[in-house]
Amino acid sequence: MQLLDGKKTAEDIKNEIAAEVQSIKDAGGKVPHLAAVIVGTDGASLTYVGSKVRSCQQIGFDSTLVSLPEDITEEALLAKIKELNEDDALDGYIVQLPLPKHIDEQKILMAIDPIKDVDGFHPTNFGKMALEMDTFIPATPFGIMQLLERYKIDTAGKHTVVIGRSHIVGRPMSILMSRKGNPGDSTVTLTHSRTKNIEEFTRNADIIITALGVPNYLKADMVKDGVVVIDVGITRVDDASHPKGYIITGDVDFDGVSKKASYITPVPGGVGPMTIAMLLQNTLLARKMRNAK
């Protein structure tokens, strides 16, 4: 069994981006500029956005944090989105989800200019991805594809089972794994909470990508020997014996499944760090695309 070390791979990617940024600076060019919009004071969102800002500083990007109050109106947020779309200093920006309940998330995501949508959530970019055109790939699926590529995992002709059908991870993964090329050329089964006898699919899978959000869901008796397991799940589970009072757990029963897997991602330290690295990669791409224009 080999660990798919997302932490190390993400650092490698950040170092590669930092070298490109230095080359841009040396040539007198404008470095990429990423903005993050956060509404309210959700602890997990603040932590995540904070790590994005620190990563920007680490690799030489310009970054802007736009903090807005929890009670901001939908109209006021849409006005801010319009302002960011028209700000020529910005190459890309993200709106941190979830948003407060009184705001229509879909309406906000639709308002983002696709050429600045470095999260890759806009239907224009999602459609381009499905049609195998150059575009921004959602950061978590992009990170998974990079892990598979950099660890030279053969995916052609393999049976990939994706657990979870979210627009952020599950559905794009099902598309990406079936596209031409490697990683890709895989036969994909997309399973979800309504799938009956899910273990019949997972036991026949060469590759399992799970983004269900149910701690320790995937057990050793649900997989075959030699399976490749990508665990996107990340759930805070109460644990009185731990100094923090909780532990971070993935969808996979790691102790059991790792004994049968050929490759597996840890949680934490697997997919999570890759997500931020690929958001930075998308921002660099946005800068290059604007330069080309």
| DSSP state string for 68-134 | E-TT--HHHHHHHHHHHHH-TT-SEEEEPSPPPTTS-HHHHHHHS-GGGBTT--SHHHHHHHHTT-S
Q: Check the annotation: does 262 bind a ligand.
A: no
Q: Check the annotation: does 164 bind a ligand.
A: yes
Q: How far apart are CA 161 and CA 191, in angstroms?
A: 7
Give one word for 269, left, alpha or beta, with left for phi > 0 and alpha for psi -120 to 50.
left
- Per-residue pLDDT tens digits for 142-169: 999 999 999 999 999 999 999 999 999 9
- Per-residue pLDDT tens digits for 48-106: 888 888 999 999 999 999 999 999 999 999 999 999 999 999 999 999 999 999 999 99
pLDDT score for 278:
97
- pTM attached to this predicted model: 0.95
Q: Check the annotation: does 194 bind a ligand.
A: no
Q: Which residues are catalytic?
A: 52, 96, 119
- Per-residue pLDDT tens digits for 7-18: 999 999 999 999
pLDDT score for 138:
97
Q: Residue 94 forms beta bridges with which residues? A: 36
